[in-house]
Amino acid sequence: MTSKGFRIGGDLEVRRLGFGAMHLSTEAGPARESSLAVARRVVELGVTLIDTAYLYGGGANEELLAEALYPYPDGLVITTKVGVARSGPHGEWKLDGRPDVLRTQVEQALRRLRVERIELLQLHRIDPETPLADQLGTLRDMRTEGKIGRVGLSEVTVAELDQARQIVDVASVQNRYNVLDREHEPVLLACEHAGIAFLPWRPVAAGTSGELAGIAAVASEVGATPTQVLLAWLLSRSPVMLPIPGTARVEHVEENLAAGELHLTSAQYAALDRLHQPT
């Protein structure tokens, strides 16, 4: 583990500042061409962790990344998520962690991403209608089969993380977290204690005018954008923190990744830290 790198599961080396692909348009035409260019620029800039999910277009986002980046450069990790399906009464999206659904989604992801193994596969949400042992047992079995390298979770509590770790080794947790929204602080601390990667989604805070003014003040001091300051704060917050900011614009990708070179003083970090008002 270094200031710029982290080993997910103890052995999968990635750069700590990754990329979330959710916002990339998969529609045919200029928007798709722009998305392909963004994905390629992300890798050119040295990102080694890209996050996607079956939910993002029913697999279309996975296909887009494969089109943009396959054959993949050495060291690039594309993590995807399963466990949400169009299995509602009227074909709407709902949590679905039934073993056959998870297995099918993993198999489809392997095909769409054009790989034989997904190095990090995350359960998008825990399905309350399916026993957790069935959900994680399926992913554990597919790991044994060599189709999954490591298993991660998303939007879990400390209790759920503890329960999950009795069933399978958990390599990552992807929960909502930013400087103003720290509902999952206990989960972050649990991950830090166990050496589990923590991938904050919605890493850029949206706050009140006073809070945003405080962020802007620090940004002005360091000559950076508010977004860069927020990402730098996350990287300073914990050594297991792996932010995955997403955007559909090349210039924003370049801006976000420059945050990895931004160093906050202890006073600036503390000023940002104080903006959070615990509930």
Question: Which residues are part of the catalytic machinery?
Answer: 56
DSSP letter assigned to residue 213 = H
